[in-house]
Chain A
Amino acid sequence: MDERTSWMRWLTDLDRRYIFVLVALAVIIPIVLKKVLPVNISPSVKSSYDFVNQLPEGSAVMIVLDYDPASEAELYPMTLALYRHCFDRKLRVLSYTMWPNGAALIETAFDKMRLEYEGIQSGINYVNYGYQVGGALSIIAAGQDIRTAFPTDYRGNSTGIMPVLEGINSLADIDYVIDLAAGSTIDWWVAYGVQRYHFTLGAGCTAVSATQYYPYLNTGQINGLIGGLKGAAEYEQLAGHPDRGLAGMTAQSSVHAVVIVLVVLANIFYFISRRKR
């Protein structure tokens, strides 16, 4: 009896560094094995994909990268999948961010696209506006007059006569806006953007905040919601560009399994110890 309680006590008070090792192994092993599993496509991601897919060539899409490197693991694969889909369909891409630390990340992503899609150029096929101060104010400013709101791009080049902005005077002229958000910027885009300027808005977010945006999906204020690395994996699968998202799903599965087992075990020990008393 004493033996059982002693090892049970050891298990319930387990040094958390053992748990760390378990989690590390659960992530490393599937990644080393490189096994990729296909994912189920959820309707919320499909509706975003379908909307981009039916946009005619030359349409303008604004992809707002409202995150910084802290969330890049989930949102950067989403960004690349969207960029690739847009450039495949020869759409014009406008990007900016409301997070200062994310401005150069947009530049990195476009540099990568320049290598993959020969011939695309800043100012002609895409533009990176960099960091725009003011949060929701940048949305309102862009909704009023985009050239006054964003007079230069990330590097300081004037946007006044950029070919990529032909025919675009405000957010209302943009065919699709997608906000990839690590924080609460989606709320701002809905409240200050869609309510005032009536453009079509899609959203991508970290899994942490995904549940709180389903009300917007239900009312139609956003027409698609890409949630977390899984959402990125689904979009990669739809767009035909497998990358980090799909590659990470196996590791995701195994860590989930580990966490579920840990939680169930912990509760089993808890119930057993409660029954003793």
Chain B
Amino acid sequence: MQLLRKHLPIAVAFIMGVLLFFQFYIPTRASSTFLENVTQWDRIIAGFALLLGIYSLLNHHFHKLRRRVPGWGFSVIVYAGFFAMMLAGFIWGIRNDPPISFTPLISGLVAGADDAVQYEQFVTSGLEAVPPEEVSPTVQSLYEVIEGLVPNDAVLFVVDYGQTDEADLYPITLVLLRQCFRKELRVLGVSLVEEGEPFLEQALSTVAPEFDAQYGADYVNLGFKEGNEQVIVSAGRSLTDAFPTDFEGTPTSGMTVLEDLESLRDLNYLIEVAGGTEIDPWINWWITNDGSAMYRISIGLTTLADLDPAYRPSYGEPYQVQESKPFMWMYDNLFVPMQATMFSILAFYIASAAYRAFRARTKEATVLLITAILVMLGRVPLGTLLIRYWSDGHWVPVMGLSGDQEFLSWFTEWILNVPSMAAQRGIMIGIGLGMISTALRIIFGIERTYMGGGD
């Protein structure tokens, strides 16, 4: 029995210690495999050992409950929390599902000449072209959504205005088309008002050659389709049914540009340039029937300034919602706040301790105090404000030797990197030597306290 109780553990410690020590210096494949296996075994044992902690906590409170020790009611709370958390994890899982995206009805809105000018600035020179205070969020949103599309994404480009609004809306039509072609998107042009067809044709034939876009492969002109909202509903079922031919009568089925596009649901965006009340029916139909949810696609609307109030309420930014599983909910709202708060109480205690106990009784303690104060000042923005000199009518900070930091900040950094680092290095070397000596004592069986329980 002595063999198993006393000698075997010491022998095991010795053998494993010596083997793992030499393993470091033996560069063979076998040595590496040995390390892998030993590590795997050790981790399994450590994994079982974790159960010890769980058992001991539950056991302590179980005894309190059993013996009805004063305060045993709190032990009920322990068990309640334990069962709730444990079951939540095993029943509903410990990981949240991916977030759900919500697309708004109108995700970009350009209304009126000012917005159109700003949009053109974005397209030609980027977002930086306009100062942030002047940026209109709805205009920026439209720009960003289209910029966020990738080559080969498909957009339905709807031109719905007539001659009365040509001056206001034709230029922005060209700007939008140019952006689409620059992003190498597939453009399906259509018009739901008869007057819009010539503008659609003119715009496409102006812009497409600038980007070497091929008709039938990169874009198509589906012409004027009568029916307003019926066209959209039909397109929601099948694009080729809604638009059997293009504006010249050529059949659309088989066109490369419509490849993989069954219905509206397969498109990535719907850009609408609209001038007047003729197109209101279909946009209002879209809004009342929640077209964005039906077709999983939202609209980027470009229209006249006076129509803005009608459509702005339907404008929204896309958002995502992350639902929490019960386990993660309890972790985020019970566990994390409580543990974080318990440790944050230390902030109060350290301030109180600093006041009541921290006296400069000796020269060494004074040095400690002064260094502490310097570090506390130098590591926060406040400290760097303190050392300044007056020059040319305003306060100029004194810079440190490195030139890029203010003096106190630089000096604190120097303290940490030079004298403090030296002391810490000395301590580290000392601790290292101690660790090696303890390890050797364990390996040679001189140190046996880790085994526990007498002997």
- Please say whether the chains A and B touch (CB closer than 8 A): yes
Chain B interface helix/strand/loop/mixed: helix
Which of A16, A115, A144, A250 is B39 in contact with, Cβ under 8 Å?
Answer: A144
Nearest A residue to B408, CB-CB: A40
B46 lies within 8 A of A214 (CB): no
**Interface residue? B344 (CB, 8 A):** yes
- Residues of A contacting B202 in the complex (Cβ-Cβ under 8 angstroms): none
**Interface residue? B153 (CB, 8 A):** no
**Interface residue? B451 (CB, 8 A):** no
The digit string for B329-361, where 1 denotes a CB below 8 A from any CB of A, is 001100111011011100110111011101110
Nearest A residue to B93, CB-CB: A155
B377 lies within 8 A of A107 (CB): no
Query: With A40-B405, A42-B413 in contact, is A70–B359 under 8 Å at CB?
Result: no
Nearest B residue to A128, CB-CB: B95
- Residues of A contacting B347 in the complex (Cβ-Cβ under 8 angstroms): 23, 27, 255
- Give the size category of A's interface with B: 35 or more
**Interface residue? B428 (CB, 8 A):** yes
- The winner among A104, A149, A249 for most chain B CB atoms within 10 A is A104
A76, B325: Cα distance in complex, Å: 21
A218 lies within 8 A of B417 (CB): yes
A262, B352: Cα distance in complex, Å: 9
**Interface residue? A272 (CB, 8 A):** no
- Residues of B contacting A262 in the complex (Cβ-Cβ under 8 angstroms): 351, 354-355
**Interface residue? B421 (CB, 8 A):** yes
The digit string for B353-387, where 1 denotes a CB below 8 A from any CB of A, is 01110111000000001001100110111111000
Give chain A nearest CB distance to B42 CB in angstroms: 5
**Interface residue? B251 (CB, 8 A):** no
Which of B322, B352, B424 is A214 in contact with, Cβ under 8 Å?
Answer: B424
Nearest A residue to B423, CB-CB: A211
Stretch from A1-9, A48-56, A83-91, A132-140 that touches the partner: A132-140
The digit string for B10-35, where 1 denotes a CB below 8 A from any CB of A, is 00000000000000100000001001
Which of A23, A39, A133, A230 is B47 in contact with, Cβ under 8 Å?
Answer: A133
**Interface residue? A252 (CB, 8 A):** yes
- The winner among B332, B339, B372, B379 for most chain A CB atoms within 10 A is B379
- The winner among B24, B331, B337 for most chain A CB atoms within 10 A is B331
A276, B354: Cα distance in complex, Å: 23
Give chain A nearest CB distance to B350 CB in angstroms: 8
A260, B373: Cα distance in complex, Å: 6
B376 lies within 8 A of A256 (CB): yes
Nearest B residue to A145, CB-CB: B36
Which of B351, B360, B425 is A267 in contact with, Cβ under 8 Å?
Answer: B360
**Interface residue? B205 (CB, 8 A):** no
The digit string for A97-137, where 1 denotes a CB below 8 A from any CB of B, is 00011001101100100110010010000000000011101
- Residues of B contacting A217 in the complex (Cβ-Cβ under 8 angstroms): 417, 421
B420 lies within 8 A of A211 (CB): yes
What would 21 A/B residue contacts be, using CB atoms closer than 8 Å? A14-B355, A19-B352, A22-B351, A23-B351, A37-B381, A40-B409, A42-B409, A70-B340, A114-B98, A115-B322, A133-B43, A133-B47, A144-B39, A196-B24, A217-B421, A256-B376, A256-B377, A262-B354, A264-B373, A266-B356, A266-B358
* B residues in contact (CB < 8 Å) with A: 24, 32, 35-36, 39-40, 42-43, 46-47, 50, 93-96, 98-99, 101, 320, 322, 327-328, 331-332, 335-337, 339-340, 342-344, 347-348, 350-352, 354-356, 358-360, 369, 372-373, 376-377, 379-384, 405-406, 409, 413, 416-417, 420-421, 424-425, 427-428
* A residues in contact (CB < 8 Å) with B: 12, 14, 16, 19-20, 22-24, 27, 37-40, 42-43, 68-73, 100-101, 104-105, 107-108, 111, 114-115, 118, 121, 133-135, 137-138, 140-141, 144-145, 148-149, 154-155, 196, 210-212, 214-215, 217-218, 228, 230, 249-250, 252-260, 262-267, 270
Considering the complex of A and B, which 4 residue pairs feature the smallest CB-CB distances, nearest first? A253-B382, A37-B381, A16-B352, A134-B43
